[in-house]
Structure formats: structure tokens, C-alpha cells
Structure 1
């Protein structure tokens, strides 16, 4: 049974009930493309029923973080942002009390890129709760100060702790360095050179693009970003940065590692992946020239639809 037939079998079996779309590329060519219908929830809005097609943008939620990492590489090449070894808090001189705090002096941009800041941060709670640190950040009057002033609970660089605040800081550094909003810089520096013209970037109540979860893309364009990673940046993102970004740097669990805002597997079948709430997935398997983009509606729940389709594609 071929890949397309395996995906079709999953759809007929009903084991991916909230699948919205899947696009598979091999060797740069689309080999599977499917769109469905179902209840979707644009971040910050109420759920609604949507019939999807190839021109329908979809929330990619925390896949946004991985796109921000791509942008950081472009901005770094252009001299707009500090290098990973730069001191982090010093990049925000408007908070002199935090800059002067010796407990934060060792923090670097790399600690934000790898989510190893060592600060008190908890996203294990539902994203409907203001006790969730990312939601609290969005409700705060100043998102950057909110992140940087979190209590330091352990030495940075030692342990991975999922942190949308780290991504917000990176997005802020890019926007400041570029001298324009994150979405506008992203359009010129990344999306348009890749041929992506239909994007949205949801803003927080402060009018700032949500660097942790606000991006909306067509599934085909999500796959194109995977093709860029597979192709070493395609001359848009520096190849050296793509290598650094996808290098396993901190252990999450077993073979499951984290690079610069990207997940990495070091197992028998190495892959790089961006993952978002609800079943938003962008999987890149370099050894097989394979890219898989999935969008789904399993928000705040187990990603059963995405897992079923990915298993079919990978023939697990």
C-alpha cells in the first residue's frame, strides 16, 4: 500500500476525526494533499465550523516558535540581532533593575533559543487559564518585562522547560533590530522570498504579534517552510544557521531533543519537527527528503488526528 493509500485508509477508518489538512512533499514535490472540514478555533476567537481547501489559512500555534527561529537566523546574518552568546537581559535596557540583577546576568540569547532560561514558567496548565504562564504573559501590560522578571529557580542552560516567553523575547529582539513589526519583517525576509503571500499573524492585546503562537499559514506554505529547512535554507536562511538551529542541544526525553526552537530526534530515523497545540505539525526527515505538514483541531487535547496521519505517512 502506498503512502496516499495509507492516509486514505486512516481517513476512512475515522482514526483522525479532527484532521483539517495534510500535505506531504518528497524531493520537493507534493505527493499527498488532503483537506477536510471540522470545528476550528482561531486563537483568541470562538470555535467555528470550517470547510478547508488549499487556500484556507490555519493557525499553526506553537509552530510559530520555529518560524521565529528561522527569522532570527536571517536577522542575525543581516546584523539586526545579537548572537546567541550575547547577554539576554542587556538587550532590554529599559529595565535597568533587571539588567543590574546579578541573578540574571548569566542569561544569554541561546538560553532563550533552547528554552533553558531556568525561570519559573509553567505551561502545563490549560491554555484557557490565566495561571498558564503564556496566557499570563499575554494578559500582562508588558510581555517582555513579564518574562524577564520571572523568578530564577535554577541555573540556566541545564534543563529544558517549555516556555513561550522565550519565543516572545526572540520575536521582540527581531522586531527591534529590524525597526518594524515582526509580521512585516517576516513577510520581506522569509515569506515572500519563499513565494508565500497569504499569511496572518495574530496580535496580542498590546498590538504586538504573538511570537509564541500567532501565525496562520496555508498548509502548502507550512510544507514550503519544511522544504526550506530540508534544503539548508535555500539561500533565504543561512545554511549554517539551519544546521545550528536543528542541532540537538538539550535532552527532553530519551532520543527526543531540542535545538533552537525546533524539536529534534536522534534515533534510528532522525527528524526535525515543529509542533503546535491542536495537532499542528511540520515534520522534516532529511534522510528521506520528506516533509509532512499537518493541521488539525484537537486543541488542548491529545493530538490523535495528527499522530494517526503521521503514523500512516511514516508507515509505523
Structure 2
């Protein structure tokens, strides 16, 4: 049974009710494209019932983090941002008290890229509550200071802790280094060259783009970014950076590892992925030249629709 038959079978029995969009590419060609309908949100603001099509922008939530990693690689090649092995706190001279703290002295940029900062952080509470560290960060007077002044709980590099604050720090380094806002830089150096003309980047109350979760893209836009990664940067992101970004660095359990803001899987088939709350996905299988882009609306809930769609695409299960 082919991919289209498996997906259509899944949809016909209501097996992915929260699916909003799906684009599948094989060897650079569109294998299938499907769109749904349902309530959608821009972060925590309801947009009501939306009928999706190829041109509908969608929150991609934490897929934004993986896009920030692509931008970091571009900026690094331009000499605009510090290398991964450079210490992080000297990059924020506006916080001399934190830079002078010996407990934070060994934190490097790489620890932000791999979410191993060693600082207290907890995103297990809903993303509607300030009990969630990312939401607390976005409501703080200074989001970057909020991240960097969290209590030190372990030596940096030892333990992976999911941390939107890490992406916020990376976004700040990029914007400061290139001398313009993230959205402007992304349009000029990544989205435009990749053929992505439609996007939005939600900002916080301070007017700064939310590097942890603020992007809105179409499924086709997500697929274009996936193709770029599969092609080793596509001449837009340095090939060497893509290789470093997608190299397993922190073991997360089972066959899954974390690179630089991207997930990497082993097992029978190597895969690379970007994940976002609600079921937003970029999923790549290099050996099969497969790119899958998913948007869905199961925010702050189990993301069954996206996972069911991915299983059907990859052939892990059949429907019927």
C-alpha cells in the first residue's frame, strides 16, 4: 500500500482528527498534500474554526527553535555570532553580575544549542501558565536575564532539559550579531533564498521575536526547510553546520538523541526532526529522501494526529 492510500485510509476512519496540514516529498517531488479544518490558535489566542489550504499560515511553535539553529549557522559563517565552544556569559556584558558568577563561568554557547545549560527550568506546566518557565520568561521584564539568572542545578553539558530559554538566548545572539531583527534576517538569508515568501514571527510585549515558539509558516514552508536540511543546507546554510547541527550530542533515551535544536533518531532508519506543541513536525529520513511536514491542532495535549500521520507515511502501520 502506498503513502497516499495509507493516509487517505487513516483520514477516512477519523484516525487523525486534529490534522490541519500534511505535505510529503520523496526525492524532491511532492508525493501528497492534504489539508483539514478545525479550531486553531495563535499561541494562546483562539483563531476560531479555520479551513486550511496551502496558503494558510500556522503556528509551528517549537519548530521555531530548529529554524533558529539554521539561522545561527548562517550567522556563524558570517562571523556575526560566537562559535559553539565560546563561553556564553561574556556574550551578555549587560549582565556583569551574572558574568562574574563562577558557578556560571563554564556555560558555553553549545550548552544553549543542546539545551544542557545546567540551569533550573521546567516546562511541564501548561503553556497557559506562568508556572511554565517559558511563559514566565515571556512575561518577565527582561527575558534574557530571566534565563541566565536561573539557579544553577548541575554542571553544564551533563543533562538535557527542554528549555525555550536556550532558544531565546540564541535568538538574541543572532539579532545582536547581525544588527537587525530575527524576522528581517530570516527573510533575507533563509526564507527568501529557500523560496518561502509567506511567514509571520510573533513578538513578545517587548517587540522582540519569540525565538522559542513564535513562527507561523505553511506546511509547504516547513517542507522547504526540511528539504534544505536534507540537501545539506541547499547552498543557503553551510553544509558543515548542517552536519554539526544534526549530529547526535545528547542521548535522550531509546534511539533518540538531541543535536543543535534538532532531534535525531537511530534504529533501523535514521531520522531527523523538528517538533512543536500541538503536533507540528518536520520529519526527514535521509536514506529514503523523505520529507514530511505536519501541522495540527492538538495543543497542550497528546499529539495523536501528527504521530498517526507520520506512522502512516513511513509505513510503520497500516489502516483498515
How far did residue 254 of structure 1 move?
1.8
- Equivalent positions of 1:266-281 (< 5 A) are 266-281=266-281
In the other structure, the counterpart of 1:248 is: 248
State the SS of the aligned residue for 2:260: coil
In the other structure, the counterpart of 2:139 is: 139
After superposing on structure 2, the runs of 4+ consecutive aligned residues of structure 1 that deviate more than 4 Å are: none
In the other structure, the counterpart of 1:36 is: 36
In the other structure, the counterpart of 2:195 is: 195
Structure 1: segments with no counterpart, 5+ residues: none
- Equivalent positions of 1:98-113 (< 5 A) are 98-113=98-113
In the alignment, the residues of structure 2 paired with residue 46 and residue 218 of structure 1 have an alpha-carbon distance, to the nearest angstrom, of 18
The yes-or-no answer on 1:12 pairing with 2:12 is yes
The aligned length equals: 316
How far did residue 47 of structure 1 move?
4.3
In the alignment, the residues of structure 1 paired with residue 59 and residue 270 of structure 2 have an alpha-carbon distance, to the nearest angstrom, of 26
How far did residue 42 of structure 1 move?
1.0
State the SS of the aligned residue for 2:39: strand
In the other structure, the counterpart of 1:220 is: 220
In the alignment, the residues of structure 2 paired with residue 201 and residue 129 of structure 1 have an alpha-carbon distance, to the nearest angstrom, of 22
In the other structure, the counterpart of 2:169 is: 169
In the other structure, the counterpart of 1:157 is: 157
How far did residue 206 of structure 1 move?
1.1
State the SS of the aligned residue for 1:46: strand
In the alignment, the residues of structure 2 paired with residue 195 and residue 282 of structure 1 have an alpha-carbon distance, to the nearest angstrom, of 17
Contact 2:39/2:46 (<8 A) preserved: no
TM-score by length of 1: 0.99
1:174-193 deviations in Å (ceiling 9; x for gaps)? 00001000110010010001
State the SS of the aligned residue for 2:176: helix
Contact 2:24/2:290 (<8 A) preserved: yes
In the alignment, the residues of structure 2 paired with residue 283 and residue 20 of structure 1 have an alpha-carbon distance, to the nearest angstrom, of 16
Contact 2:279/2:298 (<8 A) preserved: yes
1:206-242 deviations in Å (ceiling 9; x for gaps)? 1110000000001001000000000000110000000
RMSD: 0.6
Contact 2:62/2:212 (<8 A) preserved: yes
In the alignment, the residues of structure 1 paired with residue 276 and residue 170 of structure 2 have an alpha-carbon distance, to the nearest angstrom, of 18
In the other structure, the counterpart of 1:53 is: 53
In the alignment, the residues of structure 2 paired with residue 158 and residue 177 of structure 1 have an alpha-carbon distance, to the nearest angstrom, of 28
The yes-or-no answer on 1:126 pairing with 2:119 is no
